[in-house]
Amino acid sequence: MTAKIIDGKAFAANVRADVATHVARLQEENDITPGLAVVLVGEDPASEVYVRNKHKSTIEVGMNSFEHKLPADVSQEELYALIEKLNNDPSVHGILCQFPVPDHLNETDIVARISPAKDVDGLHVVNAGLLATGQKTMASCTPLGCLMMLRDHYGSLSGLNAVVVGRSNLVGKPLASLLLNDSCTVTIAHSRTKNIEALCRRADIVVAAVGRPEMITGDWIGDGATVIDVGINRIPHPEKEGKFKLVGDVHFASAIEKAGAITPVPGGVGPMTIACLLANTLTACCRTHGLTEPEGLTA
Ligand code: NDP
């Protein structure tokens, strides 16, 4: 069997187009433009690229983008003062602080300062708690992107057996909660899990969120299972000296022979993350103004 490749790039383009349509309608009918504020501390080159891409995508869907670049030695008080200002700014519906931040700042404390209603990254404990208790929440972008692709592939996820490999607060745990809320039977595997290959082989859905290049090989995958590869790993290019190559946590060439459907890296989960950030900003804006939330763009 050779798996269907789930095209995350095309899926994300559809989500962004859908968001753009809703934004245009909000402007026309309510004279409201959703706004996303991104805070970048320091000059990490990878973070600068991410922030630039977020800015471009935000503008493209017709939203306002507010970029705040702070020096690497900014004090905690100054950063918190900016977050407080953004919390109180009615033109800002979503706030995201790009991580990692310099060592003198604490990521958990930063997230705690962001108003849960504007926490479009879905990392605030209030949103994590709402998700864990099956209530309306703001779901983290990457897990939300995975959920959207799985719902699209299956229609209903009810009763399916899912194994999520990875238990981070950013990906593994929220995705497990999302799948559970959609009535999957969920197993969370991690570095201490015994017989992890056998667990994965029995699953209808295997999600890899580990951060280990190509760890999950074809012999971990049951016939016809769906494989969602969240991993993004830069490894030395096997043929081009001095160059790098992006690979996932799944060994694509062997997994595609066993799976029924699989997301590639790049071009799978990655593009969905920014698309879901825009979807969450739109959702936050609708909730703030008591307007109907767009269908299909939330958990
Ligand atoms: P973390 O490092 O926070 O978590 C990794 C998880 O994998 C941990 O729970 C860890 O277990 C588990 N793990 C590590 N080694 C093994 C192993 N040998 N067997 C089983 N489990 C193992 O990573 P993140 O969740 O933040 O990210 C995971 C991957 O997803 C990374 O490649 C990252 O780059 C990528 N990513 C991609 C995004 C996208 O937009 N596509 C967004 C966010 C992340 P334990 O808890 O026991 O240590």
In this structure, the answer to whether residues 101 and 200 fall within a common structural domain is no
Residue-wise pLDDT tens digits, 41-79: 999 999 999 999 999 999 999 999 999 999 999 999 999
Same domain, 170 and 106: no
pTM here is 0.97
How remote is the CA of residue 80 from the centroid of ligand 1, in Å? Answer: 28
| Strand pairing category for 94-97 and 185-189 | unpaired
Residue 100, preceding peptide bond in cis (omega within 30° of 0)? yes
Whether residue 133 is contained in a domain is answered as: no
Residues 169 and 257 in one domain: yes
Q: Does any domain span residue 285? A: no
Structure tokens at 141: 């972008």
Would 294 be classed as within a structural domain? no
Active-site annotation holder among 121, 204, 229, 249: 121
Q: Which two tokens stand for residue 126?
A: 């209030």
Number of structural domains found in the chain = 2
Assess whether 88 and 209 both reside in one domain.
no
**Distance from C-alpha of 271 to C-alpha of 64, rounded to nearest angstrom:** 20
Per DSSP, the three-state class of 207 is strand
Domain that holds residue 169: 141-271
pLDDT bracket for residue 2 (50, 70, 90): confident
Does the residue 18 lie in any domain?
A: no
Pocket of ligand 1 from Cβ distances under 6 Å: 142, 165-168, 170-172, 189-193, 196, 209-212, 230-233, 249, 269-270, 273
Catalytic residue status for 76: no
Task: Report CA(240)–ligand 1 centroid distance (Å).
Answer: 27
Ligand 1 centroid from CA 37, angstroms: 27
Is 135 one of the catalytic residues?
Answer: no
